[in-house]
Chain A
Amino acid sequence: MSAAPLLKVEGLRKTFKGLVAVDAVSFEVDEGSITAMIGPNGAGKTTTFNMIAGAMAPDSGEIALAGQSLAGLRADQVCHAGIGRTFQIVRPFPKLSVLDNVLIGGLRDGSSVATALRAARETLDLLGLGKSEDQPAGTLTLPERKRLEVARALACKPRLLLLDEVMAGLRPNETDELVATFRALNKDRGVTILLIEHVMRAVMALSDVVYVLNYGKMIAHGTPGEVVADPAVLECYLGEDTEI
C-alpha cells in the first residue's frame, strides 16, 4: 500500500441481540480502485455497508474516509463527506419521476435545481435510463430500478460509491453493460467503487481487490484470481471436502 487508503475500516463489530453479524472486520479501499466484497448470504456484507454509510452505528471499530473518522455521523453527513450508496432492496421515490429521483441527489453539493436537472439528465443517459425520465420511478422494472439506485447515488458526486448487489437479476449482457459503465466511471471520473456482489462474472471483470466475508469474519482477500483459488473461500461457498 503506497498512499493512505481512501476508506479504512478497522475492527468493525456489530451484534444484533447477541448474534454477531460483523466481527472484527478490517479492510481498506484504495483511492481510484474497484474493490469487491463477497461472501455467502448472511455473511454481514450489507451490515458492513450500513455502518460505513452511517445508517447503523457499529458496536465498536473505526471507519475513516481519507483519514477523517466517520464516527457518530448520520447518513446524510456521511453522504456529504463523500460516500454515495445504493440499497440492496431498492428504495426509489416511487411517485416521483425518474428524473426527479436523480435530480434530488444532485442537490447534495449545493447545486441549483436547474444545474441538478441538467446533471441528472447526463447521469440518466450514462445509465441508459434517459428514455424513462418522465416515468414515475415506481413503474420501472427491477433491473431499471437497480440502475436508478446507481444514478441517484452518482448524482451526489461521491468520492466513494458503495454498490450493494446492483447486478442481481440482470441478464449476462446487461451485466456486461453495467460493468463497462462502472469501468468508465472509475477511469474517467475517478470514482472509487466498493461493491457487494454475488454475480462472479462482474466481480471477476471489475475488481482490483476482493475481500471475502463469512459469518461476519473476513476470511480472505486478494486479487480475484487469488481469492477464487483460496481453499477457505471454496469451503465457505461449497462446504468441506469438496472435490474440484
Chain B
Amino acid sequence: MSGDGAPGRFGLTGREQAALALFFGAMALAPLVVGDFLLSVLLIVFYFAFVGQAWNLMMGVAGQLSLGHALYVGLGAYAAAALYVHFGVPPLVGMVPAMAIAAAAGASIGFLAFRFRIGGVYFALLTIAFAEFTRILFSHIGWLGATEGFFLPVENRSDMDFVNLRGSPEMFYYILLALTGLALALVRGLMGSRLGYYWLAIREDETAAEALGINIFRTKMIAVMISAAMTALAGLVMAFYYNNLFPGDVFGMHRSIEIILAPIVGGLGTLFGPIIGAFVLGILGEGLTIALEAAGIATAGVKQLVYAVFLFAIVRFMPGGLWPFLATRLGFVRGGRK
C-alpha cells in the first residue's frame, strides 16, 4: 500500500502546506488593500477561527461537547480587563492569570463531570449551567461594573502598543491572525502526539480507550483546560478591541452557540474546518446584511432565517462539514484521520 504513508504522516502534505502559506500570506497583506469595514469583518472571522479551533480541540478531537464556552471568553475578558483597569497590569502579562482562571474554571467543570462520569448531553448541560450562573454572578459584582458594564479607557487608537493592547484595528487583526496560525500549529502538533491519539480514542469509545491503558479522567481534563485557556485568550483580545464588557453579552448563551458554528460548518475534528467555517459564515453573515440592505428588506429576522436555512443545508448535505467535502474535490484528501 502506501508504504510509509503519505508524505509526512503526522505533518501536512505539500499541497496543504502550499495552500496554507498562500492563505496566511494573502491574509497578512489584506489590511493593505481592504477598507475599514472589510477589515472589521475579517477580524471577527479570525476571532471565530481561533475560538473555533479551541472548541474543536475539545469537541471535534476529544469528543467533549461544551455549549458553555462563553464562560471562558468572559472570564478571560473580565480577568485581563480588571487587572488592567484596577491594577495597571498590561494584558501581555495579564493573559497569564486570565488563561489560568479560565483553565481552572474548565477544570472545575471537568472534575465534576468526569469524576462522576457525566457525559454527552448532561455534560453539555453542565457547561451551560456554569456559563449561566457566572453571567448572573457577574451581573452583581459592582467592582466589575455589574449590569452597567465594565469599560476600558479608549485611548491611543493609532499606535501599535502590543503590551497594553492599545492600538488600531489593524493591530487586533494581526493579533487574531497570528493566534489563528498558532492555534492551527498547536492543534496539529497535538493531534500527531500521544495525547492527540488518546483524545481520539476517548472520542470514539471511552470504554475501549480505558482498556488500552488510557487514564480517561486526566486526558479529558487536559483537553478542557487547554481549550478553556485558548478561549480565554480570544476573550481577552476582544475585550481590548471593543473596550466594553457586559455580562449579559459576554457570558450569554448566544456567545457559546456562535463559537461552535464555525467548526461544525467547516468540519468537526478537522484541522482546517474552523477556519473555513469562520470564513464562510463571516462572509455569509455580512454578505446577507449588505444584500438585504441593497434589496431594501428591513424585516427583522430575515437574515437569521436565511442563515438558518444555510446551516440546515450544510448539516443535511455535508454532514461532515465543508472541509471534508472540499478536500475531496480539491485533491487534498488522503487516507487516515484528517
Residues of A within 8 A of B (CB): 53, 55, 74-76, 79-80, 84-85, 87, 91-97, 99-100, 103-105, 107-108, 112-113, 117, 131, 133-134, 152-153, 155-156
Tell me the minimal C-beta distance from B72 to chain A in angstroms. Answer: 27
**Is the CB–CB distance between A79 and B192 below 8 Å?**
no
Could you tell me the distance between the alpha carbons of A123 and B192 in the complex, rounded to whole angstroms? 21
Contact between B335 and A76, CB atoms less than 8 A apart? no
What are the interface flags for B39-54 relative to A under an 8 Å C-beta threshold, 1 for contact and 0 otherwise? 0000000000000000
- CB pair A96–B208 under 8 Å, yes or no, is no
14 contacts between A and B (CB under 8 A): A55-B210, A80-B213, A87-B207, A87-B208, A93-B205, A93-B209, A96-B337, A104-B214, A107-B198, A113-B193, A131-B1, A152-B208, A153-B211, A155-B212
Interface residues on B, range: 20 to 34
- Asked if B153 is at the interface of the complex by the 8 Å CB criterion, the answer is no
Interface contact B336-A134, CB-CB below 8 Å:
yes
A84 CA / B9 CA spacing, docked (Å): 28
**Which residues of chain B have a CB within 8 Å of any CB of chain A?**
1-2, 9-10, 192-194, 197-198, 200-201, 204-205, 207-216, 335-337
Instruction: State the CA gap A74–B209 with chains docked (Å).
Output: 12
CB distance from A194 to the nearest CB of B (A): 15
Known: A93-B204, A113-B10. A105 touches B337 (CB 8 A): no
Bound CA–CA A178/B200 (angstroms): 29
A55 touches B207 (CB 8 A): yes
Cβ-defined contact, B197 with A97, below 8 A: no
Q: Which of A108, A131, A134 has the most CB of B within 10 A?
A: A134
Query: Which of B208, B210, B335 interacts with A93 by CB under 8 Å?
Result: B208
Q: How far is the CA of A80 from the CA of B193 in the complex (A)?
A: 20
Contact B2 A104 (CB under 8 A): no
Known: A80-B213, A113-B194. A91 touches B335 (CB 8 A): no
The 7 closest A-B pairs by CB, nearest first: A93-B204, A134-B335, A79-B213, A108-B213, A91-B208, A75-B210, A105-B212
Task: Closest B residue to A80 by CB, please name it.
Answer: B213
> Which residues of chain B are within 8 angstroms of A74 by Cβ–Cβ distance?
210
CA distance in complex: A93, B198 (Å): 11
Chain B residues within 8 Å of A53, by CB: 211
Distance of A95 Cα from B61 Cα, bound (Å): 12
Which partner residue on chain A sits nearest B214 by CB separation? A76
Q: Find out whether the CB atom of A104 lies under 8 angstroms from the CB atom of B337.
A: no
Alpha-carbon distance between A93 and B193 when the two chains are bound, in angstroms: 17
Give the residues in chain A near B211, CB-CB below 8 Å: 53, 55, 75-76, 79, 84-85, 87, 153
Distance between B59 CB and nearest chain A CB, rounded to angstroms: 14
Q: Give the distance in Å from the alpha carbon of A84 to the alpha carbon of B205 in the complex.
A: 16
Q: Which of B204, B208, B211 has most A Cβ within 10 Å? A: B211
By a CB distance below 8 angstroms, the chain A residues around B2 are 134
Residue of B nearest to A162 (CB): B211
Residues of A within 8 Å of B208, CB to CB, are 87, 91-93, 152
Additional pairs, 4, CB under 8 Å, beyond known A95-B337, A108-B213: A74-B210, A87-B211, A93-B201, A104-B214
The reply to whether B10 and A156 contact each other, CB–CB distance below 8 Å, is no
Of all chain A residues, which has the CB nearest B6? A134
* A105, closest chain B residue (CB): B212
Residues of B contacting A75 with CB < 8 Å? 207, 210-211
Which chain B positions have C-beta within 8 A of A99?
A: 336
Of listed B197, B212, B337, residue having the most chain A CB within 10 A: B212
> How far apart are the CA atoms of A105 and B215 in the complex, in Å?
13
Q: A113-B193, A133-B1 are in contact. Are A156 and B336 (CB under 8 A)?
A: no
Pair A79/B212 contact, Cβ less than 8 Å: yes
CB distance from B264 to the nearest CB of A (A): 16
Complex Cα–Cα for A105 and B209 (A):
8
Given contacts A80-B213, A97-B335, A97-B336, contact A104 B197 (CB under 8 A): yes
Q: Which residues of A contact B204 (CB under 8 A)?
A: 92-96
Q: Are B213 and A91 in contact (CB under 8 A)?
A: no
Closest to A81 in B: B213
Give the complex CA separation of A93 and B197 in angstroms. 11
Contacts of B335 in A (CB 8 A): 97, 134
Beta-carbon contact of B213 and A76 below 8 Å: yes
Once the chains are docked, how many angstroms separate the CA of A74 from the CA of B200?
Answer: 20
On chain A, the residues within 8 Å of B205 by CB distance are 91-94
B263 nearest CB across to chain A (Å): 16
Residues of B within 8 A of A93 (CB): 200-201, 204-205, 208-209
